[in-house]
């Protein structure tokens, strides 16, 4: 039983007082001790830079004794040569003008000759009348920061070197692809009496090897064979099919100039060669052009295997497709039907062959619509009556206008009968 006037201590009151006492003990550091042992350097200088006071932390970093520094050295004596120059030209003028300056990266000289990176902040202390009395400066150890910056710089240099190497590798690859792509096309178009020929090849991406192809070659003294097509896929495999297709069509046309027979031979070769687990096929339109020097006209026989129909641009200002319906993709079946057509080119007429990279170019602000057959026919009407090279040049400008809407390679081949008997010119 408790005596009168006495109450029991609240539970835990002793523990709370003990914690407060321990916390208070942590705050018993004197101001002088906090100054001397601070985690950063402190110093005070006269306005001429003479050091009047410096803490132990900064002395330890410098490797100096207090007696050798206080009243004997100026702040600039602690800096490297470059630091002194920066202090005189930038640091000190800004400090005098602004009254304070912070976060300046400098280096101090240590007793052993090493350099120590630091961040320096200074402020001027003014008297009651506004006159400057002294300069207080804090110095922070920036060695970890400098190491971090050096690591970032090294990583940046490595990244820049890797990027430069990647760009050089890409340039070499593009050069190799361009050479290989060119090897799949004729170096030049042969001269065809009474017919002007023009061709153009547009690569959608220099980083991809395309599968479009074309050719024009003599069959005999009067007739010339031609073809234009598009192999399924991209890259080296498509290039191999392109090479096989070109040489097969050339050989087939020389053996039998009938365009349907040439496509049937190509179909058999491709199906036998690629009938395993990696089928390969293509679309092709091929034909024979036979100029008639007596009439000044040229007869054309052609056949199509799944390829977009040719366009005929007439001298009278009209243009329309030459239908070749029903032709099957070349190489997809052991035997396939191929559709054929014939036409006569009068002076001023042009036969235009193209791959679907042209009609499937994306247009509009959102690049959602395809250019399409009808837009191409309307464009061709505006070129009707012009020579073959002018038609191809206009189409090249159209391809330029598509910009990034051109997703696929495009090949063009135009055969036109000049309006005069002058010497014809072939271009590509």
Beta partners for 120? 104, 139
Give 247-302 pLDDT, tens digit per residue: 999 999 999 999 999 999 999 999 988 877 677 889 999 999 999 999 999 999 99
Q: How far is CA 254 from CA 37, 115, 215, 217, 337, in A?
A: 98, 83, 14, 10, 21
Query: CB 20: neighbour CB atoms within 10 A?
Result: 10
**Beta carbons within 8 Å of 161's beta carbon, 6+ residues apart:** none
Please answer whether residues 314 and 385 qualify as being in contact, where contact means their C-beta atoms are separated by less than 8 angstroms: yes
Rounded CA separation 338/304 (Å): 6
- In this structure, the chain runs to a length of 428
Beta bridge partners of 313: 319, 350
C-beta separation of 248 from 282 below 8 A: no
127: left (phi over 0), alpha (psi -120 to 50) or beta: beta
Structure tokens at 90: 């930038």
**Edge-to-edge order in the sheet of strand 132-141:** 51-54, 41-45, 132-141, 115-126, 100-109
Task: Give dist(CA 299, CA 257) in Å, integer.
Answer: 14
pLDDT digits (tens, 9 = 90+) for 26-54: 556 678 888 888 899 999 999 999 999 99
CA distance 163 to 174: 16
Give CA–CA dist 372/354, Å, rounded: 13
351, 413 in Cβ contact below 8 A?
no
**Paired tokens of 389:** 């090279």
265-279 as b/e: b if 16+ CB within 10 A: bbbbbbbeebeeeee
pTM over 0.85: no
Beta partners for residue 122, in sequence order: 101, 137
CA 71, chain centre distance (Å): 62
- Kindly report, residue by residue over 85-125, the tens digit of the pLDDT: 999 999 999 999 999 999 899 999 998 889 999 999 999 99
Token pair for residue 247? 């040489």
* Segments of the chain with pLDDT less than 70: 1-15, 19-29, 174, 176-183, 206-207, 209, 277, 421-425, 428
- Mapping DSSP onto H, E and C, the string for the chain reads CCCCCCCCCCCCHHHHHHHHHHHHHHCCCCHHHHHHCCCCEEEEECCCCEEEEECHHHHHHHCCCHHHHCCCCEHHHHECHHHHHHHHHHHHHHHHHHCEEEEEEEEEECCCCCEEEEEEEEEEEECCCCCEEEEEEEEEECHHHHHHHHHHHHHHHHHHHHHHHHHHHHHHHHHHHHHHHHHCCCCCCCCECCEEEEEEEECCCCCCCCCEEEEEEECCCCCEEEEEEEECCCHHHHHHHHHHHHHHHHHHHHHCCCHHHHHHHHHHHHHHHCCCCCCCCEEEEEEEEEEECCCCEEEEEEEEECCCCEEEECCCCCEEEECCCCCCCECCCCCCCCEEEEEEECCCCEEEEECCCCCCCEECCCCCEECCHHHHHHHHHCCCCCCHHHHHHHHHHHHHHHHHHCCCCEEEEEEECCCCCCCCCCEC
């Amino acid at each position: 039983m408790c005596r009168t006037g006495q109450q029991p201590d609240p539970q835990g009151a002793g523990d709370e007082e003990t914690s407060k006492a321990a916390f208070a003990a942590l705050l018993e550091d004197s101001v002088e001790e906090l100054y001397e042992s601070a985690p950063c350097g402190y110093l005070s200088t006269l306005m001429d830079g003479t050091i009047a006071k410096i803490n132990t932390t900064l002395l330890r970093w410098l490797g100096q004794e207090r007696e050798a520094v206080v009243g004997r050295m100026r702040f600039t004596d602690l800096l490297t040569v470059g630091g002194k120059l920066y202090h005189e030209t930038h640091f000190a003028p800004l400090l005098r003008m602004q009254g304070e300056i912070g976060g300046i990266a400098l280096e101090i000289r240590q007793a052993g000759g090493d350099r120590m990176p630091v961040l320096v902040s200074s402020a001027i202390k003014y008297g009651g009348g506004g006159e400057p009395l002294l300069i207080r400066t804090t110095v922070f150890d920036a060695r970890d920061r400098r190491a971090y910056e050096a690591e970032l710089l090294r990583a940046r240099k490595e990244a820049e070197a890797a990027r430069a190497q990647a760009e050089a590798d890409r340039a070499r690859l593009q050069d190799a692809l361009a050479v290989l792509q060119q090897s799949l096309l004729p170096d030049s178009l042969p001269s065809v009496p009474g017919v002007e020929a023009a061709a153009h090849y547009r690569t959608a991406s220099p980083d991809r090897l395309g599968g479009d192809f074309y050719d024009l070659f003599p069959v005999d003294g009067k007739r010339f064979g031609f073809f234009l097509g598009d192999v399924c896929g991209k890259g080296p495999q498509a290039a191999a099919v392109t090479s096989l297709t070109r040489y097969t069509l050339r050989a087939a046309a020389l053996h039998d100039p009938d365009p349907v027979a040439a496509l049937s031979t190509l179909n058999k070769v491709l199906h036998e060669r690629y009938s395993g687990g990696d089928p390969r096929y293509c679309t092709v339109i091929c034909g024979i052009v036979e100029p008639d020097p007596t009439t000044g006209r040229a007869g054309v026989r052609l056949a199509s295997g799944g390829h977009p129909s040719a366009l005929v641009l007439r001298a009278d200002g009209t243009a329309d497709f030459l239908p070749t319906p029903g032709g099957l993709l070349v190489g997809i079946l052991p035997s396939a039907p191929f559709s054929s057509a014939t036409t006569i080119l009068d002076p001023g007429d042009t036969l235009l062959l193209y791959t679907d990279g042209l009609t499937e170019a994306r247009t509009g602000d959102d690049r959602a619509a395809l250019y399409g057959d009808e837009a191409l026919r309307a464009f061709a009407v505006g070129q009707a009556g012009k020579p073959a090279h002018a038609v191809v040049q206009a189409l090249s400008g159209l391809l330029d206008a598509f910009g990034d809407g051109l997703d696929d390679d495009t090949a063009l081949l135009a055969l036109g009968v000049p309006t005069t008997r002058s010497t014809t010119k072939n271009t590509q």
